[in-house]
Amino acid sequence: MMRILVISNMYPSDQAPTFGIFVKNQVEALMNKGNQVDVAAITNPNMGRKNVMKKYSSWILGTFRRLLSGGKSYDVIHAHYAFPSGVLARWFYKRFGTPYVVTCHGGDLNKMAKKGRFFHNQTQQILQDAAHVIVVGHDLEQQVTEDFHISSEKVSVFSMGVDRSVFYPRPKREVRATLEVPPDEKHLLFVGNMIEEKGIGDLIEALPHVKQRFPSMRLHVVGPAKQEAYVDGLKQRIQVLGLKEQVHFHGPKSQTVVAEWMAAADVFILPSHIEGFGLVAVEAMACETAVVGTNTGGLAHLLTDGAGALTEPHQPESLAENILDVLENDDKRGAMIEKAAERVDANDADQMTENVLAIYEAAQQRNGK
């Protein structure tokens, strides 16, 4: 048994059940393997300058107190997101020599580290002092090794894993009845934060082309409105395009309900402008739903070789063509689902947990523990 401290700037709560849910899932998987896991995390997703200052200062202070009171007792620290979580993990390392592992999820490298020299240098120090760096996509691996000069021997590429006890195929008519949606219409699905980088604006622009062929189709949007002004603009655009009856916003849902929506959908769409990996796409694959995504980040690898349909970011017409191709071609959709099963197997959560534990054990051995 190991005693592990997980540090994350995203972690779910009763008020925000999907906020960093992938971290909680891994924590629970580690505990199920007999390990003791403590968590120092931010559970409040609300933005705004005052709220951000308050929640981050409380998080930092609470983690520092934990360092002073019990820092020596941990075998390993796991920081999710290089910055800022890695800063706190590095404190433990500098104070007690406790090895730490960092998982880079995408935003920490694609956005935060590019805000300026300070953030880049901090990220580089965090990655260099880490016992091991996990990245969720091959493009992130390239950034870590080339931009931050981390030895490839210290870097592993794998996702957070898909929980197949939650995400699995179900009869579409039955799950559509549960969700109270028309059983014979075409249902499209987007799941994620409603922010500009997720490309949902491109999806809205693509819908009139889809509507021409399938007038009664529906797009279901599941996820929180992280950028309220942006979402207000989307809703105005939906009115202008005459899509009020086609687009339905359901807000954030639990993973169980998300899985039901995935099983009910004809096509899952992730039109991101940037994407570290795209675990949500694998979750849709696990529900045997065809995926249309963009040629960016981890999606560029995940959806290759017929496992999904790829289009370039910022291209609504091309996105619409891919959606229609999947909807109209049953044989192609079936072949995609069959190929996607291989990607689901490769990202099984239980195997990912074993990978993490092996990295922890190697970090302890190198540290002489």
Domain co-membership, 185 together with 101: no
The answer to whether residues 253 and 223 belong to one domain is: yes
Cis peptide bond upstream of 12, omega within 30: no
- pTM to 2 decimal places: 0.89
For 248-288, write each residue's pLDDT tens digit.
Answer: 999 999 999 999 999 999 999 999 999 989 999 999 999 99
Q: Does residue 235 have a pLDDT over 60?
A: yes
Calculate what percentage of the chain has a pLDDT beyond 90: 80
Structure-token pair, residue 229: 């002004």
Write the CB contacts of 153 (distance below 8 Å, at least 6 apart in sequence): none
* 70-117 per-position pLDDT tens digit: 777 899 999 999 999 999 999 989 988 999 999 999 989 988 999 999
Task: Please provide the average confidence, as pLDDT, over all residues in the chain.
Answer: 93
Residue 228: what pLDDT? Answer: 86
| Residue 310 resides in a domain | yes
DSSP 25-63: HHHHHHHHTT-EEEEEE------SHHHHHHHHHHHHHHH
Structural domain total, the chain: 2
Q: What integer pLDDT is reported at residue 286 of this predicted model?
A: 98
**Residue 166 is assigned to a structural domain of this protein:** no
Any domain includes 167: no
The residue written with tokens 């870590």 in the block is 144
Domain containing 36 equals: 3-161+349-366
CATH number at residue 337: 3.40.50.2000
The answer on 241 and 142 residing in a single domain is no
**124-171 per-position pLDDT tens digit:** 999 999 999 999 988 999 999 999 999 999 999 999 999 999 999 999
Return the pLDDT at 172. Answer: 95
Q: Which of 76, 68, 94 is nearest to 7 (CA)?
A: 76
Residues 31 and 71 in one domain: yes
Q: Is residue 82 located within the same domain as residue 128? A: yes
